[in-house]
Structure formats: structure tokens, C-alpha cells
Amino acid sequence: MTSGTSPSDSASRRARAVLPEGWPQPRGYANGMVAEGKVLVTGGLVGWDVQGVFAKGFVAQVGQTLANIKAVVEAGGGKVEDIVRLTWYVTDIEAYRNSLAELGPAYRANLGRHFPAMAVVSVPALVEPEAMVEIEATAVLPG
């Protein structure tokens, strides 16, 4: 395996994307990440603000969820570039697929051009009835 270059490589040497030789460069995510340091794991975060009010609409909830992830990582002493994995749970996979053009700006507004390993999973429901998306993050902070 060789390490591929990605926008996240220049942002942080602690966490970098891994790309097997001959594989195409993924767009908007990494196939794998390698990092050293302390692990910070979030719970499943949703698209509500500090008052518990949900953002209106799928893209708005994704933006708020990513802002919440950023806040937790920073509160733990990290930065966006320390995030090595995001697992998205969405209640409407078609809303996700149909919103890809709008999701890009919402993503970049919160996480910039840092693209860790990601998975998107369609689920029938989330614990919070208004939630359309829930995202878990793993970050590796400086030791």
C-alpha cells in the first residue's frame, strides 16, 4: 500500500489519507486514514443547536451536525484535520443522494477540504424523531 495525497495531507501530518497503489483518488472522502495520538470519539450527533432546536431541512441539519462535531472536537483540544472517520446515519437515502450538490458547501463551511474515511448508512429512524441525520466522528489528537 502507498499513501495517497489528498487535501488533508497538507493540513495535518498527524492524520493522512491512505490510498492503495492503482486505486482511483476518491472524491469527498478517504478510503482509509492513518494517525498517531489520543483518540476522541463522539457520540451520534444530530442537527440541533444548543437550545435543542433542529435545523429545518436535510442539508441544514447536516450543516448543524457537522458544526456540532467540530465544536466537540475543538472542545477536546483537536481541530477538524484531526478527524479520521465519520459515520453518517440518514433516514432518507434519497434526500442524501439528491442533495449532494448542496451538501458540498455545507460540509466545507464546517470541515473545509478535509475528507476523512466516511460511510453513509440508511436507517429507518433515529432516536430523536425530528433528526434526519446523525453522525459519529473519530478524531486522533496530538499525543
93 pLDDT more than 50: yes
* Kind and range of the H or E run holding 139: strand 133-141
Beta strand spans in 9-61 (E)? 15-18, 32-35, 38-41, 45-46
11 pLDDT more than 80: no
Task: Give residue 13's pLDDT band: very low, low, confident or very high (50, 70, 90).
Answer: low
Q: What is the pLDDT of residue 9?
A: 39
Q: What is the mean pLDDT of the chain?
A: 91
117 pLDDT more than 70: yes
CA angle 85, 50, 123 (to 5 degrees): 45
Neighbours of 73 (CB within 10 A): 22
17, 3 in Cβ contact below 8 A?
Answer: yes
27, 104 in Cβ contact below 8 A?
Answer: no
What is the tens place of the pLDDT at every residue in 56-78? 999 999 999 999 999 999 999 99
12 pLDDT more than 80: no
**CA-based nearest residue to 99, from 59, 48, 39, 143:** 59
Sketch out the chain's domains with CATH numbers: 39-141 (3.30.1330.40)
Q: Which residue has the higher pLDDT, 49 or 3?
A: 49
Instruction: Decide: helix, strand or coil at residue 121.
Output: strand
The span from the CA of 46 to the CA of 54, in Å, is 8
Q: What is the pLDDT of residue 142?
A: 86
pLDDT > 70 in the chain, percent: 91
